[in-house]
Amino acid sequence: MVKLNKIYTRTGDKGQTGLGDGTRVAKHDLRVAAYGTVDETNAAIGLTQCHAKGDMKLLLTRVQNDLFDVGADLCTPDQYAPPFPPLRVTSSQVEFLEKRIDEFNADLESLRSFILPGGTQLSAHLHMARTIARRAERLISKLVEGAPSHLETLRYMNRLSDLLFVSARKANSNGSQDVLWVPGANR
């Protein structure tokens, strides 16, 4: 369990940070960028929760907890052999998201066009979190090229962005308040 008594340590004052195995890397390292963007996703979901209620709020809380697992997974390099197994994202976490996506999507109107992010406040915030999750996914996909143990993490972030998309549609009265893209409308 993590115990933080002091928030600043001064160990990062020269542009380096520590990974889960103790290795020091630049703060702009791909691995740090990936888990930093997962942290941004988590913060965006925290903001989104301010507009959510009931089951949606509970779902977002569960996702936030999982995103800390994602961060823990990403901050631990493949080569690390600790005395205990590193925390890795599991297929059951991905499957949970898939089940929620299927449940939400069953109630949605079929899409006839791409959707403009927006509608209700909750939907707009879910779309913002989705775009940040997609950015994290792009960074993780680059990281996975040399770190195959993070494949479930990549799958998780891919499903999470899908879940946030269908959740945004659900927050728009099951899609009836979606604002559809009209190609070339302003030519």
Instruction: Say yes or no: domain 23-77+89-108+117-174 is CATH 3.40.50.300.
Output: no
Helix (H, G, I), strand (E, B) or coil at 144: helix
Taking residues 78-83, report their average pLDDT.
Answer: 70
pLDDT at 12 over 70: yes
Question: What kind and span of H or E run contains 115?
Answer: strand 115-116
Q: What would the mean pLDDT of 163-184 be, rounded to a whole number?
A: 95
Q: What is the pLDDT of residue 81?
A: 67
pLDDT by residue (tens digit) across 15-33?
888 888 888 988 999 999 9
The reported pTM is: 0.92
Residue 115 main-chain phi, psi, to 5 deg: -105, 135
Q: Is 83 exposed, middle or buried (0-12, 13-18, 19+ CB in 10 A)?
A: exposed
Average pLDDT over residues 57-77: 95
In the chain, % of residues over pLDDT 90 = 72
Q: Which residues contact 176 (CB under 8 A, 6 or more apart)?
A: 109
Average pLDDT score over residue span 59-81: 91
Contact in structure between 119 and 177 (CB atoms under 8 Å): yes
State the pLDDT at residue 40: 98
Residue with the larger pLDDT of the pair 13 and 55: 55
Nearest to 163 by CA among 71, 91, 101: 101
Domain-wise residue ranges, the chain: 23-77+89-108+117-174
Residue with tokens 């800390």: 68
Q: For the chain, how long is the longest CA-to-CA vector?
A: 63
